[in-house]
Amino acid sequence: MSASHVKIEKEEILSDDWYVLKKTTFQHKRSNGEWQTSRETYDRGNGATILLYNLQHRTVVLTQQFRYPTNVNGNATGELIETAAGLLDNIDPAERIRQEAEEETGYRVTNVSPVFEAFMSPGSVTE
């Protein structure tokens, strides 16, 4: 199914603070025959992440970072254990992830091999 089956009628920016929140009015006929006519999307840009593996210790390398939305959802500290990651900001994904891995974990990565691409929350976030 291609994007040509969606007819965009109007886009409006609801917020342009940290990233861009848009409301789009469009026409899209779902597989059940119902029409979908609008959606809010949060455009953060694309990111990359890496799961580092320490051969010597036979362990994965993770980071701990504060994430405000998790605090709002009941995580008292707002701290998450996660892989090294970052937004691309118009930089090659392999280069960006090398920078992020070193910055967040102290490990210098030379060879990066893409494994797959995924959408984090495709119902509302463009990342």
Strand locations in the chain, DSSP E? 7-16, 20-29, 35-43, 47-50, 52-54, 59-61, 63-66, 79-82, 84-87
Residues 32 and 77 in one domain: no
Same domain for 16 and 66? Answer: no
- To the nearest whole percent, how much of the chain has pLDDT over 90? 69
Looking at the fold, whether 61 and 100 belong to one and the same domain comes out as: yes
CA separation (Å) from 19 to 31, 39, 71?
32, 17, 20
Look at 22-26, 80-84, 120-124 and tell me which has the smallest mean pLDDT.
120-124
Domain boundary among 28, 43, 58: 43
CA contacts within 13 A on the Cβ side of 46: 11
Q: Is the pLDDT of residue 3 over 60?
A: no
If one counts the domains in the chain, the total is: 2
> How confident is the model over 16-48, as pLDDT tens digits?
998 999 999 999 988 898 888 989 999 988 999
Could you tell me if 55 and 81 lie in one domain?
yes
